[in-house]
Structure 1
Amino acid sequence: MTAHSRAITSNQPGPHRDLTRRVERALQHPLRKPVAEHTREAFERAEHWRGARERMPLILDAGCGVGLSTRRLASAHPECAVIGIDRSAERLSRDHGPLPDNALLVRADLVDFWRLALAEGWQPARHYLLYPNPYPKSVHLKMRWHGHPIFPAIPALGGRLELRSNWQLYVEEFALALQQATGVEAQVEAFEPEGEPLTPFEDKYRRSGQSLWRLVSELPHRPELLPVA
C-alpha cells in the first residue's frame, strides 16, 4: 500500500546562516530554564528502573512518540535497557502491544530529562533521535534540536548517536553543529531501513517514496560540553 505523505518544503536553500552563532551561544551560555517538577519525578522513576538493570547497557529513544521504536529497539537489543521519552501522554498511551521487560516509556520534557541524565552521569551506549519535528521554516531554527540551547547535552551524553529524518537539510545542519561542538565529523547518508521500520513516520515516509537520511556518530562522554550556571 502506498502512503501519501507530503515532502518537506522550506524557505532555506541550504544550512541556516545563523546556525554557527546559535551553537556557539549554546556552548557558552547556561540554559537557565527551571526543570519541570513532573520531569524530575519521571526521571527519578526512570533512574530507579535503570538502577535495577545497572549491568545492562542503556539505550535512549529520545522523542519516542507512540513508543513503537522503543519496543522494537528493546526487542532487537534484549541485552540492553531501553528508555523511550516523549512529552505527550496521549501518544505514549496508544496501544502498540506490551512493553518488553527491558523497555520503559517515560513522559517527560526532553530538555529537562537530558540535563538530569547528564547530571546523574548517564552514559548511553546508543542514543536515537528518530524523525524529530523538522520545523522547516527558517525562522524556527531555534526549535530544531541543533539550534536549541540544549543541543550540547545531546553529544555530551556520548555513545552511538543516530539521527534519522526525511529532510536531508536537517541532518546536514545537525552534522555541522555536531562538528562545531565536538570536532567529530559525521557523515550524512541516504539509507533504506532493514526489516521493520522503527517508527510509524519511517513507515509512512518510505511508503510515500521519500528519501530517508541519517547520521551515525560514536561520541565520548563529555559532560563539560553543557555549560552550567
Structure 2
Amino acid sequence: MHGNSRSITSGQSGIHEHLAALVARHAATEFRKPIADYNRAAFDRSMSAWRAAGELPLILDAGCGVGLSSLNLAAQFPDHFVIGVDQSADRLARNKVWERPLPSNLICVRADLVDYWRLMQADGVRPARHFVLYPNPWPKIGQLARRWHGHAVFPTIVALGGELECRSNWRIYIEEFAMSVSQLTASPVQCEPYAPAAPITPFEQKYLASGHTLWRCRSRLPARAPHLL
C-alpha cells in the first residue's frame, strides 16, 4: 500500500483543557439513550455465535471497519472468540485481502457501538481483550465530545473491564484516552509509541507506509473501577 495519508493537524497542542470535567460529568450521569432494535438483534446474533463456540474468552474489536483487524486478531488468538463491530454495512461487505483459511472463532456484525457496549454491560458480558483501533480522531478543538473518551458512553467502555487497548496516529488522542481511563479507574495508564511487526488494519498499514508515528495505550482494567461503582 502506498503511503499518502496526511498527518493530523489540530489547534490542540496537548490534552484538552475540558476533558477531565467532561469525563467526570459523564461518570456521574446515567446515559439513557434508547437502544435501537437492530442493535439488539446484532448483539443477540453475536452472543449466540459466541455461546455456540463454547464461550471462549472474548475479544471485542470495536469499530472493526472492513474486518481485517478482526481476522488478524482471530488468527493471533485462536483460543479466543472475536466479535468485530462496525456501524457501516458497506465497510463490512468490502473485499479484503486474506490469503489464509477463514478463522472459525470470529463473527462481525453491523451495530452502533454506543448501543452495543451498553448491551454488553447490561448482559454482564466482559471481554478478555478490547481493541479500539484507529478511531476517527475528531481533531478540532470543538470536537472533544465526538472522541470516544469524551463521549457519554466512555464510562461504560471502561466498566466492561478486560485488557483495553487503543491505537492512533495522533499522539494527543492516545494521551487523552489514557488520561480518561486513569481518571475513571484511579490507575496510571501509559501512552507509548508503537511499531507493529506487521500491521493488522488498513489504517495501520497506510499510516506506517506514510511514515507516521503510531501511538497506543493499554490498560488491564480492574473488575470494579473506583469511579464506576
**Which of the five TM-score ranges fits, normalised by the shorter chain?**
over 0.9
| CA offsets 1:14-58 (integer angstroms, 9 cap, x no match) | 111110111011101111110011001110111111111234110
Matched positions, count? 226
Cα separation, 2, equivalents of 1:118 and 1:172: 25
Cα separation, 2, equivalents of 1:225 and 1:157: 13
Aligned-pair distance for 1:208?
Answer: 0.3
TM-score of the aligned structures, taking structure 2 as reference length: 0.94
- What is the one-letter code of the residue matched to 1:201? F
2:208 is the alignment partner of 1:199: no
Three-state SS of the structure 2 residue aligned to 1:72 is: helix
Tell me what 2:69 maps to.
69
Please point out which of 218, 221, 226 is paired with 1:219: 221
Aligned-pair distance for 1:223?
Answer: 8.1
- What is the one-letter code of the residue matched to 1:47? M
What 5-or-longer segments of structure 1 have no aligned partner? none
Matching of residues 1-229 of structure 1 within 5 Å: 2-96=2-96, 97=98, 99-195=102-198, 197-222=199-224
Three-state SS of the structure 2 residue aligned to 1:193 is: coil
Cα separation, 2, equivalents of 1:226 and 1:49: 29
Contact 2:55 2:81 in 1 (8 A): no
CA RMSD of aligned residues (A): 1.6
Contact 1:63 1:130 in 2 (8 A): yes
Mark the CA change 1:115 to 1:109 in structure 2 (over 3 Å): closer, same or farther: same
Mark the CA change 1:162 to 1:106 in structure 2 (over 3 Å): closer, same or farther: same
Contact 1:65 1:91 in 2 (8 A): yes
| CA offsets 1:168-215 (integer angstroms, 9 cap, x no match) | 0000001111111111211110011013x1100000000000000000
- What is the one-letter code of the residue matched to 2:216? R
Contact 1:165 1:212 in 2 (8 A): yes
Aligned-pair distance for 1:13?
Answer: 1.6
Which segment is superposed worse, 95-104 or 108-117?
Answer: 95-104
TM-score of the aligned structures, taking structure 1 as reference length: 0.94
Three-state SS of the structure 1 residue aligned to 2:6 is: coil
Cα separation, 1, equivalents of 2:214 and 2:160: 25
Q: Percent identity?
A: 53
What 5-or-longer segments of structure 2 have no aligned partner? none
| CA offsets 1:139-171 (integer angstroms, 9 cap, x no match) | 010000000000011111111111000000000
- What is the one-letter code of the residue matched to 2:63? G
Cα separation, 1, equivalents of 2:223 and 2:86: 23
Cα separation, 2, equivalents of 1:223 and 1:67: 30
Contact 1:157 1:223 in 2 (8 A): no
Cα separation, 2, equivalents of 1:225 and 1:148: 16
Contact 2:184 2:225 in 1 (8 A): no
